[in-house]
Amino acid sequence: MTSLAGTDIVTGSIRRGPAARIAARTGGGALRIFLIVVALIWLVPTLGLLVESFRNPAQYANGGWWQAILHPAQLTVSNYSALLKNSSITTALRNTVFISVPATVLVILIGAAAGYAFAWIDFPGRDLLFLLVIGLLVIPIQIALIPVSKLYTTLGISGSLLSVILFHVGFGLPFAIFLLRNYFAGIPRDLLEAARMDGASEARIFFRIVLPLGMPAVASLGIFQFLWVWNDLLVALVFANQSSQPITVALIDQTRQFGSSIDILAPGAFLSLIIPLVVFLAFQRFFVEGVMAGSVK
C-alpha cells in the first residue's frame, strides 16, 4: 500500500481517496453498481409520479404506475387537459406565481438595502442590530401564525395574496440580510471609497456598484427564496383563502381521497414541481450555494 501511494506521488497522480481504494480493491464495479442503484432509488419516486400523472385514472385501482411501462396504452394526456380546464387549479397555479415572484423580488430589494447598510455604512448600534438579525435566522415560522393573522385582520388584508407575500418577505429577510451583508462586505473597499470621493450618492453606489457586483449572491438568494416560497404549504394554508390559495393548498384538500383524486393529484403535483425542478437544474450552482449558505437557517 505504501509503495503504491509512493508511486502515485512520483508519477504525479492526483489524490486517491478512500473511495478510490475501495474501488481498486473491489475492481470498482461493486461501488459503481451500488451508486447507480442508489441514484435509481432516488429517481424512482419522481419517475413514478410522472408516469402516474399520464395514466388513465381508472387504471389506478388495478395496479401501480409501473404497469404502464408494460402497457403503454394506459398512458394518456387527458389528466393534464382536464386539469388545465379546472379553474380552481389554474387559478391556484397563477396564485403560486403571483406569490412567489413578488415575495422574491421584495426580499432581494429590502434585504440588499439593509445588507448594504450593515456592510458599508457606519451607524451606532450596527453590530448589535446585525447580531439580532442573525439571532432571528432560526426563528420557526410557527411562532408568528397567530399574531400575524390577528395583525392582518386589523389591517384588513386577511386572505389576500398580499398577506401571504408579506409573511414570506418577513421570514425571508433575516437570511437575505445575512447573506447579502456578508457578500457585500467582500467588495473591495477602494471601489466604494473612490465612488464616494467622486461624490456619488449612497443610492447611486448601491444601485450602480454594490448590486451589480453582488449579483452572484443575489442570484443565490433569489433562487433559494423563490423555491422556498413556491414550495410553501404552511404559510399559505394559514393565510390564503379560497381565491388566493396557491397550488400546494389546492392539492392538499384532495389528498384525503387519495385514490379517487389521483387524476388531479398526480398531474397537479407534477405541474407544481416541474418549475422548481427546471429552475434547480438551470441554476444549480446558485441554488446549491444558497442552500449551503442557508445552512444556518
Partner 1 sequence: MSVAEGEPAAGAPAVGSSVLLEAERRTTGRGARRRHAPRPGGAPGERRWLAWLFLLPAIVMLGAILLYPLIYSIVRSLFSDTPTGAVRSFVGLHNYGAIFTDSRSLQAVKNNVYWIVVVPTLITIVGLIFAVLTERIRWSAVFKTVLFMPMAISALASGITFSLIYADQPTRGLGNAVAIGIHDTFSSSHPYPSVHPRDTAVFGGSPKAGYTTHQSYPAGSPVLLPVVGLNLTHPPSSTAQATAPTSGTGISGVVWNDFRLGGGGKPGAVDLGERGLGGMPVQAVQNGKVVASTTSASNGQFSFPSLNSGSYQLRLPSSAFGQPFNGYSWLGASLITPAIMVVYLWIYAGFAMVLIAAGMAAIPRDALEAARVDGATEWQVFRRITAPLLAPVLVVVFVTLAINVLKVFDVVYVLQQVAGGSAGVADVLAVTLFRDFGNQQYGLASAIGVLLVLLVVPAMILNIRRFRRDQT
User: Hey, which residues between 69 and 98 contact partner 1 (CB under 8 A)?
Assistant: none
Residue closest to 176 by CA, chosen among 104, 111, 101: 111
Subset of residues 5 to 64 that bind partner 1, contact rule: CB under 8 A: 5-6, 9, 15-23, 31-32, 34-35, 38-39, 42-46, 48-49, 52, 60-64
- CA 180, 181, 182: angle at the middle one, nearest 5? 90
Among 33, 94, 234, 242, binds partner 1 (CB under 8 A): 234
Distance CA 171, CA 104 (A): 11
For the beta carbon of residue 190, count every other beta carbon within 10 angstroms. Answer: 8
Subset of residues 241 to 270 that bind partner 1, contact rule: CB under 8 A: 248, 251-252, 255-256, 258-259, 265-266, 269-270
Q: Count CA atoms closer than 13 A to 103's CA, side-chain side.
A: 30
As measured in angstroms, the least distance from the Cβ of 78 to partner 1 is 19
Which span sits near partner 1 by CB under 8 A: 69-77, 83-91, 97-105, 131-139? 131-139
- The maximal CA–CA distance of the chain, rounded, in angstroms, is 76
Nearer to partner 1, 96 or 244 (CB): 96
As measured in angstroms, the least distance from the Cβ of 114 to partner 1 is 4
- CA 135, 139, 141: angle at the middle one, nearest 5? 155
Subset of residues 143 to 182 that bind partner 1, contact rule: CB under 8 A: 143-148, 150-151, 166-167, 169-171, 173-174, 177, 182
Nearer to partner 1, 73 or 281 (CB): 281
Give residue for cell 442557508.
294
